[in-house]
Each structure stands twice: as structure tokens, then as C-alpha cells.
Amino acid sequence: MAPGLLPDAAVEVLDEALQPGQAPVAFFVDGDRLRSVTDGDTVGGQLSAAWQNGDIDRIDLAPLTDHEVEAVIVDRLGPGVLDDLQVRTLVALADGQRLLAQDLVDDATAYPERVPRRYPRPGVDAATFGSFALSRMAARINRMDPSLAQTAAQLAQLSPLPMPTASRLFGESALSQLVGNRLATESVASGQRTLTVSPLYSAAMGGHGSSVFDDIEFSSRLIALWRSGYPVNEAILLGLSHSLMRASAPVSAEQAGLVLAAAAAANRLGDGMEAKALLATAQRCPDLSQEQQNQVTLERLKAHLNLGEHPAALTAAESLLAHAADPVDFEWLYYAAVATAWAPETPDWWTDLLGSPVMAAWPGAATALTCFIGESTGTADPTCDMDGVGHDPTNPVEVRLLALSFSCAAHVNLNNGAALEQSVVTGMRLADEVMTRPQSERPDILLSLAALFQLSASTSATFAGVQVDRTRVGIMNTIGHATALTSRSGWNDAMCSGWMAAAFRAVEGNEAAARLDFKYADAMVRPAFFPLMWCMHAGFSAILLTTLGQRRELTPYFAQRARQVLRPRAKAALGLLATAEEGDLPDFVAPDAPAWAPRMALTALWSAKRMTAAEIVGVLDTIPTSTLPAGLAQERHLRAAASGDPDALMDAGRDLTMTGQTAAARMAYTRARTIYLGRRAAAKSSAAGQALATLDSSGAVTPIPAPRTDTASGSRAAKLSERELEVAHLIEEGLTNVQIAQRLVLSVRTVESHVLQARAKLNVAKRRDIPGALLEVHDAD
């Protein structure tokens, strides 16, 4: 670089950014113009092709954050195309690269049904999605150093691989090169550092390597690492076990241990058939210990549950507990309880076990498991003290998480907001403590119970409006964990994530997204988890099914369980909401209806203009007062809307925002602003407009719509070009000109020009006045 060409500080930055064998290309040109260059023989054409093929990078653009990638994907796709898990999977695949994100959107637009809901992994999942992205990557992969490509291909088959294992297999130097060339990504999964090669890169590498498990020497190294206690994942366990499955010779006790670990992995992934095949392989060992025989029975029980084979699962549960030692393993009790929940009658051996001395090792477990089975079969004892078990610090963590899972749902149905928040906070603290333990101290059953609590607490808190911010973060983290398909993840994590996202989107008011999330969760329900979910969320099912119009699209599991165990409280809620949905006035004081149901029905009837203000106030005066924050916010909104008091509507909007009810809050603020404008209350109208802008810029999923292109000729927004309107909306979000330039891949000077044009067309003197002018246009339209 010529001396004096750039300031010394800039030279230092470039030197630090350079990778071996690469050279920077600095150019100053509008990104839109660069993309439009088609003449490949010119310098500009060569630069354009190299940039769009990924051969050179824009050094003035940092990788996008996950939030920015998600914005790119959602903005280009539009609403109602993908569910939350699909969007988050595309975010993970894009890896912060704008062009790659755009390629993935093109694939999703062409083939939305092929978009995965979990991070695809070679050898575990279906073929990789992303034909457009692959064509961009192929040229780059083919020019890689062959040895580096081989390492990347091997790592791709094992991803996500725990870092200690990856370092031992490939060496620190090779891993540093992979990360430096953006072929591999470091992350944290299940509390441990992992290294992942994107499945898109893996597919683009094509023939750069055969299966690592066909390489005898490499497989021997993997077995040695497993034997030495290095952490391994499902891909390694299943890959090593498949070669033993294909053979017919007896297996040793050590090999049987490997195969049993693989069977447990298959059950975690929801593959009961593969688990059964692996168990048959393990039983070819003539010297199985009693512990291994018990593990065979336990994994067979899980496989039966995964496949819906209820009588066989019950038989396996009885056989397993017949060999129970003192103390009995809680994982045995847990899955035996799931099998028992499907039985027409509780078997005598189960009742005898709960009263036997072996339960002394698990204080509170007999109460928790008895309540669970009672809730599942519709015969619950109303005096069952789940709170006492869950909040007792002397009880084991496993038992407390199970008890708190049920108490959260019970408090919502019983209209007890304070007790719900206490259960949510206590359980979240326990779940966080579990995830900070060393991996060796986090058995599968403990992780499963932590996930079960997250499902119950998140759904309960979402509908009740408690711990809203913490719940939202927890749901997004759970979705990220499920889509990553990391160690100890499987269909149950994905199903739970879809269910929680559906509840969150429904309360938020985004019915299109909620419907997609719920359909996916509904299709993923398996018998191994179903009794647990149903007994906790029968009432919540009524909300979702009615709100989203899904009552006739239930899976056989839902339909069967609904006929068997839907309790009077949930039946009353479903009937009340269904009547309101059809436009008729239900019995708002039905004795069995939970406190939240009448307010939800009133909101639906008021939104559809099927009740007058006087009728709404009359009903509110006759139903029990809610102690749930969401219910209180709904009531304040209804009373404010009935009175037409804009100040009360503003207060209601703030309450609705605090409880996560975004769409209702937008209605309250919009109505208040309209009334203020009619009264010429400029300051208060501006405050309402600012509340709307803040609501949308804070992550709301249903933004104020952009002006239509067919507005009246007098509309100022109609005069804005598409690019000017896009810049104006980014100003609404609070972005600076530099940030807008980075977001849209434009020069700062080009953005400044668009801002000037927008100011002139909107007839405003300053940049900061653009958002207010747009809001006025929205109201006029």
C-alpha cells in the first residue's frame, strides 16, 4: 500500500483484518449501481461479479446481527409464509451474511414447504435446503486448499462438535483456519463450546470426502475419544453404531454401551424405530450387566412411547420398575408415569410402588407423580399441593421442576396472578441453575424436566402477562436451541418451541404467525410428551384453537385426549370462546368458566363490533375480577374503549404493552390519537403517535402499514419513491444515515440525497420530523 494513501489508523485496521493469502480491494461506489453492472469485461463488472460471488467482501460492512438478518428475511418474504422455527433456522444458516440471507429468501419464496425447522445436519436430517445459496458457494469451495476442504468436510459430518473433541481430532491450527475463513462457527450449546460447519457449505463441498465412519482409522479415533470420556454428540454415537448394526457378530459389553448411548440419542431425536433396531444390536452382547439390561428396558419404554404403542409401554414400565433398586432412578419413575397416564385405569403395581420405601429417596415425588397422572386422566385430586412440593427447597430439583410445571398452569386457570409469578420465578431460577451445571451433572431427565417447566411457565406467563420480557427472551432462546439441533435436542424441543411461539404470537396479536407455529407444534405432538402437555394446557388449547380457528384440524392424539380428559373448566372456556367467535352472546357467568375466558370473549365481540359499549360495561360489572395482569389490562382497555376517554385509552395501552398484548395496545393508542386529533390536542396527539412509533420500533411484529401505492393523488406519501419510503421508515426506527447506508448497502451520500427528497416531498423542515409526517399520512389513509 502506498505511503500516505490512508491515515495510519486506517492502515492498522486493514492490517488486522487481513487473512493470509487475501488482499483488500477498496472501492467507493454506490452499492445499487455496483449490483446493476452486467458487463463482465469491465473492471466494474469484474468487481460486481466477485463481490456477489463472495470472492471479495465489503470491508466497510460488519456481519449482520441475528436481529438484522431476521429483519432482512421477514421484510423480503412478507408475513404468513414461514413459522418462527423456520425463520430462526434461516437466520442461523445465513451466518450474518446479507447475500446469503437473500439467497435463502429466494429459496424460501420458491419452495416454502422445503424450509427446515431445525439446523440440518448430515447423516441426521433430510437433504440440505438452499439451492440458490449453493450455487454461490460452490465456486469458492472448489478453490479451497484440498486439505482444508477435507477437514471441513469431516467436521461437517460431525457438527456441532464439542470443542475439546474437535481440537483433539483436527488440531488447533486447522480449526483456526476454518474459523478464519468463515467455514466454521463457534457457539455454545447445552452449556459447552461447540464448532459447527454450516450444512450449506457441507453440501457445496459435494465430493470432498466420503463418510468419516467408513474410514476405519478415523472411526477408531472417535471410539478412543468416547472411551476416554470426551464429549460426543448424536451424530458420532449413531454413526459409530450403524457399522455394528450392519454386522451380525456378537458385540462386546463396551460396544453394547456405545449402542445403548446411541439408542438414547435416537429416542431424544424422536426416532423410536431406530432406537428399537439399536437395542436389538445391544442385545447381541452375551454379557450384558444388570445395569445395561435395565437401560435396554428403559430405552424400549421410550421407543414404545415415541411410536404410540401404549400397552407395550406399560408392560415395559412394569418390567423396569420390577428391577428397581433402592434408591429408584427418577428417570424410571418419570417415564413409567407417562406410560401409566395412558392406561384406562391406574395399575395396582404403580400404586404399590408409590407407597413403598423406595420412594423415600425422592421426597415429594409420590405427590407430584400422583397429581400428574390425575391431571392426565381427568381424575385429579383438587387438594393436591403442587405448590408445597415445588417451593420446598429440601425436595430434589427434578421433583420441584415437575411440580412447578403443573402449578403454573393451575394458577392461570384459578385466576391467581401472585402465586403464578412466584412459581414462574422459582422455577426459572431452578432451570437456570440446572443449565449452569457441568455436563456430567446434567442427566437427560433433568434437562427434559427443565424443558417441560420452560414450556409450562412460558405459556402460562404469556397468557397471564407476568414476567413478559424474561418470558420473551426465554422463548426466543428456546427456539434458537431447538433450531440448532444441538446435543440432547430433538423433536420435543422443536414441538415445545412451536407451542410457546404460537402462544406468544397469539397474545401479541400476530394471528398469521401464531397459526403457522401452532400447526407445526400440533403436527409434532408425540405420545411420549402428549399427556404432559395436554394435562397442563387443556385450557390454553381452548384459547389457541378458538383464536386461530384450528378446532377442526386437531391431530388424532389431541382429539382422543380431548374426548377423554378435557375438564369442565377447559370445556366451559372452549364453549364460551367458540360461541363468541360465531357472533352470539355466550353465558359470561358460566360457573365452570375460568376468569380469563369472559374477557377474551368480550374482546373478540367488541373488536368485531357485535356488542355496544353499554353492553360491555354491563357484562364487566357481573363477572369476577381478574388478578392476572393481562386480564386487568384487557378490562381497562374495554372500559376505556366503551367510555371514549383518550387518557384512559393511553393508560390501557401502556398496561397492554407491559403485558405483551401488542396488537391490543396498538388499537388503544390509535384510538386515543384519533380522539386527540379530533379535539385538536396537538401535544397529546403527538404523545400517542410517539407511543405507536416506540411500540413498532421495539420489536413488534405487526408494524404500522406503509402507505398504499393507490392512495389519493393528494397523499404526500404517494409521491415518495420506493427507496425514499424505505429510508423514511428506517428513520422511524431511529437509524442514523450511516446505519441506513450499511443496512441498504448504499453510500452515505446517496442516503442523504434520499432524506432530502423525502423532506421536500413530505414538506417538513428537519429530518426528525419525517416520522411524524408519515404517521399523519397513515391516519389520513
pLDDT tens-digit series, residues 477-524: 777 766 655 444 556 677 777 778 887 887 777 777 777 787 777 666
- C-alpha to C-alpha distance for 550 and 566, rounded to whole angstroms: 17
CA nearest to 735, candidates 706, 761, 708, 755: 755
- C-alpha to C-alpha distance for 770 and 755, rounded to whole angstroms: 9
pLDDT band at residue 340 using 50, 70 and 90 as cut-offs? confident
Q: Which of 55-59, 130-134, 462-466 has the lowest mean pLDDT?
A: 55-59
Average pLDDT, the chain: 75
Residue 299 C-alpha cell reads as 430405552
Instruction: Please tell me which residue, 145 or 292, carries the higher pLDDT value.
Output: 292
Q: What count of other Cβ atoms lies within 10 Å of the Cβ of residue 357?
A: 8
pLDDT band at residue 749 using 50, 70 and 90 as cut-offs? confident
- C-alpha to C-alpha distance for 329 and 746, rounded to whole angstroms: 61
Instruction: Please tell me which residue, 145 or 8, carries the higher pLDDT value.
Output: 145
Per-residue three-class SS string for 309-364: CHHHHHHHHHHHHHCCCCCCCHHHHHHHHHHHHCCCCCCHHHHHHHCCHHHHHCCC
Can you give the pLDDT at residue 223? Answer: 92
- C-alpha to C-alpha distance for 583 and 474, rounded to whole angstroms: 36
Can you give the pLDDT at residue 221? Answer: 92
- C-alpha to C-alpha distance for 289 and 771, rounded to whole angstroms: 72
Q: What count of other Cβ atoms lies within 10 Å of the Cβ of residue 736?
A: 13
Residues 217-258 have pLDDT tens digits of 999 999 999 999 888 888 899 989 988 888 888 999 999 999
Residue with cell 451466518: 95
CA nearest to 334, candidates 373, 295, 304, 360: 373
Instruction: Please tell me which residue, 103 or 777, carries the higher pLDDT value.
Output: 103
Q: Which helix (H) or strand (E) covers residue 195, if one does?
A: strand 192-197
Q: What are the C-alpha distances in Å from 61 to residues 22, 40, 257, 330?
A: 17, 24, 50, 52
Q: What are phi and psi of 317, to 5 degrees?
A: -65, -40
Residue with cell 380522539: 675
Per-residue three-class SS string for 683-724: HHHHHHHHHHHHHHHCCCCCCCCCCCCCCCCCCCHHHCCHHH
Which residues make Cβ contacts (< 8 Å) with residue 460, sequence separation at least 6?
408, 409, 411, 412, 420, 424, 540
Highest mean pLDDT (candidates 123-127, 267-271, 273-277, 601-605):
273-277
Can you give the pLDDT at residue 584? Answer: 61
pLDDT band at residue 209 using 50, 70 and 90 as cut-offs? low
- C-alpha to C-alpha distance for 348 and 365, rounded to whole angstroms: 18
Polymer length of the chain: 781
Predicted confidence (pLDDT) at residue 320 exceeds the cutoff of 80: yes
Can you give the pLDDT at residue 124? Answer: 44
- C-alpha to C-alpha distance for 466 and 458, rounded to whole angstroms: 10
Predicted confidence (pLDDT) at residue 81 exceeds the cutoff of 90: no
Instruction: Please tell me which residue, 724 or 255, carries the higher pLDDT value.
Output: 255
Which residues make Cβ contacts (< 8 Å) with residue 585, sequence separation at least 6?
579, 605, 611
Residue with cell 486493514: 14
What percentage of the chain has pLDDT greater than the value 70? 68
pLDDT band at residue 376 using 50, 70 and 90 as cut-offs? low
- C-alpha to C-alpha distance for 587 and 619, rounded to whole angstroms: 10
Q: What are phi and psi of 24, to 5 degrees?
A: -80, 150
Q: What are the C-alpha distances in Å from 778 to residues 220, 533, 696, 727?
A: 67, 43, 14, 16
C-beta separation of 201 from 155 below 8 A: no
β-pair type (161-162, 192-197): antiparallel
Residues 379-423 have pLDDT tens digits of 555 556 788 899 999 999 999 998 898 888 778 877 888 899 999
Residue 654 C-alpha from the chain's centroid = 26
pLDDT band at residue 360 using 50, 70 and 90 as cut-offs? confident
Instruction: Please tell me which residue, 317 or 130, carries the higher pLDDT value.
Output: 317
Residues 94-142 have pLDDT tens digits of 877 777 787 788 888 877 877 877 666 544 444 456 666 666 666 666 6
Predicted confidence (pLDDT) at residue 585 exceeds the cutoff of 80: no
Q: Which of 103-117, 345-359, 526-540, 631-645 has the lowest mean pLDDT?
A: 526-540
Can you give the pLDDT at residue 554? Answer: 43
CA nearest to 472, candidates 492, 484, 458, 482: 458
- C-alpha to C-alpha distance for 496 and 493, rounded to whole angstroms: 5
Highest mean pLDDT (candidates 70-84, 564-578, 619-633, 765-779):
619-633
> Helix (H) and strand (E) counts for the chain?
40, 3
pLDDT band at residue 674 using 50, 70 and 90 as cut-offs? confident
Can you give the pLDDT at residue 561? Answer: 47
Residue 92 C-alpha cell reads as 442461523
Can you give the pLDDT at residue 98? Answer: 74
Instruction: Please tell me which residue, 640 or 88, carries the higher pLDDT value.
Output: 640
Instruction: Please tell me which residue, 702 or 139, carries the higher pLDDT value.
Output: 139
Predicted confidence (pLDDT) at residue 282 exceeds the cutoff of 80: yes
Amino acid, single-letter form, for residue 654: R
- C-alpha to C-alpha distance for 392 and 280, rounded to whole angstroms: 42
- C-alpha to C-alpha distance for 322 and 353, rounded to whole angstroms: 9
- C-alpha to C-alpha distance for 440 and 437, rounded to whole angstroms: 8
Q: What are the C-alpha distances in Å from 501 to residues 197, 417, 431?
A: 27, 22, 19
C-beta separation of 702 from 666 below 8 A: yes
Can you give the pLDDT at residue 701? Answer: 37
Task: Give the relative orientation of helices 682-697 and 662-678 as an angle to the nearest 10 degrees.
Answer: 160
Per-residue three-class SS string for 77-130: HCCCCCCHHHHHHHHHHHCCCHHHHHHHHHHHHHCHHHCCCCCCCCCCCCCCCC
